[in-house]
Every structure is written in C-alpha cells, then in structure tokens.
Amino acid sequence: ATTGTPVLIKSPTSMQGVFFCKYTQAEGKKLGLGVRVQNTDQGTAPGQLQGPISKGRHIQEWLETRGSPKLYLDRANFSNEKVISELDYSTCKRMARI
C-alpha cells in the first residue's frame, strides 16, 4: 500500500543554515519516497511524504530521531495519513520558502 502523510517539523531555533531540507530530501530519495518540504520564518518545515507505508514509517522515525545533524527538533507531527492509489509525485523537491 502507498501512503500520503502531511508532516510538520518544528524547531525552537531557526531552520536556516542547518540543511534540514537537503538531508530530508536525500533520505527520501534513498528510500524512493516522494518528499516535499519547505522552511518557514517561524522555525517550521511543513511538507508531505508519499510512498510505501514501510518506507514512510522509516523516514518518520529518521525525522524524529536523526534528521539534519545540525538541527535540534522540538517535535515532528504527522497527521492526516491516508492510503492513496498512486503517487502525486515520486521525487524529492524543495518547495518555495514561505
């Protein structure tokens, strides 16, 4: 089964200069997941993961326990997970900053 999961990452400090998007995209690509992520000025990085459920669980755990080596995460929220019949996207992409 394939899943689509919106995710919101929150850090108590700025996410600029810690390569969060870069590391998240690299991990998603390694796992064959579709990943969309962006930084905000509020210290958050909203995004979405798409791909096989098992690989989605792997990157969720990775985000909560490892992520970017220069970033301390306050929390990672995963919400509205749903099974989808096909991927809306299958690559990793950094969205425009908001």
Domain limits for position 83: 2-94
Higher pLDDT, 23 or 1: 23
Higher pLDDT, 94 or 22: 22
Residue 55: the pLDDT is: 86
Higher pLDDT, 37 or 91: 37
CATH code assigned at 79: 3.30.70.100
Instruction: Judge if pTM exceeds 0.75.
Output: no
- Please state the domain count of the chain: 1
Residue 7: the pLDDT is: 57
DSSP, collapsed to helix, strand or coil, labels residue 27 as: helix
Segment 46-71, tens digit of pLDDT: 888 888 888 888 888 888 888 888 77
